[in-house]
Amino acid sequence: MSHPPRLPVVVLISGNGSNLQAFIDGQRDGSLPIDLRAVISNRANAFGLRRAADAGIATRVLSHRDYPDRDSYDDALRRLIDGFEPALVILAGFMRILGKPFVAYYQGRLLNIHPSLLPAYRGLHTHERILADGASQHGCSVHFVNDDLDAGPVIVQARVPVLPDDTAESLAARVQGAEHRIYPLAVKWFAEGRLAWRPEGLYLDGAYRTRPVVLDQAVDQ
Ligand code: GRF
């Protein structure tokens, strides 16, 4: 039996790479029709590089410290990525803002995950801000990247409850559990040709959507 072609992807990280691990696991167990061509980090000590190497995936480090400004770094990054000929570029904890030319170049094939129910809580330290506000609900969002921070069209979200005794760490762990479910899901849809960002809007399973798919995350503790 012949298998459908797998989508070539490149993943950009800066740190732990637990979302990357979800992609590695999905590729390995056959649930995700992707071909992880390379993992690129701007930090040499990112643990995710070890996860990639252990899985036999090519790794590269491109340090922003070696470039005088954002445009020159972004250009070098684009050349490095394109050498692997990906159809999709996945930001998975890549802690750098990418400039407008870079984002425009990859528009429609650049995904990010953000730890909040966008458009709420764009930016950093979302778990701390949720707790400070006394919110009862938190979550995460997978979105296409546009040139406004954490503001591209949202594909899928998971709602996660905030529990009375939560710390930023316990909340982050619960949200990350949800991330590891919805990020592979969005990538699977893209790889299967079911998802696209077109001029008319977000297209999923034959229909234009004005709202993301929203999943509820059961508390498993
Ligand atoms: C995730 O929480 C994600 O929402 C944010 O950065 C974190 C990356 O975690 N963008 P990891 O490196 O995938 O473990």
H or E stretch including 38?
Answer: strand 34-41
Q: Best of 98, 156, 176, 217 to mutate for ligand 1, by most ligand atoms within 8 A of CB?
A: 176
Residue 59 CA to residue 11 CA, distance in Å, equals: 10
Ligand 1 atom nearest the C-alpha of 13 is 12
Structure confidence by residue, pLDDT tens digits, 147-156: 998 899 999 9
Position 5 confidence tier, pLDDT thresholds 50, 70, 90: confident
Our answer to whether residue 64 is catalytic in this structure is no
The amino acid present at 8, given as its one-letter code, is P
Buried-state track 105-125, b at ≥16 Cβ within 10 A, e below 16 = bbebbbbbbbbbbbeebeeee
Structure confidence by residue, pLDDT tens digits, 64-77: 999 999 999 999 99
Per domain, the residue ranges of the chain are 1-106, 115-221
**Do the domains 115-221 and 1-106 match in fold?**
yes
Give pTM, 2 decimals.
0.96
Cβ of 16 below 6 Å from ligand 1: yes
Choose which CATH entry (3.40.50.170, 3.40.50.300, 3.30.1360.120, 3.90.330.10) describes domain 115-221. Answer: 3.40.50.170
Choose which CATH entry (3.30.930.10, 3.40.50.170, 3.40.50.2020, 3.50.50.60) describes domain 1-106. Answer: 3.40.50.170
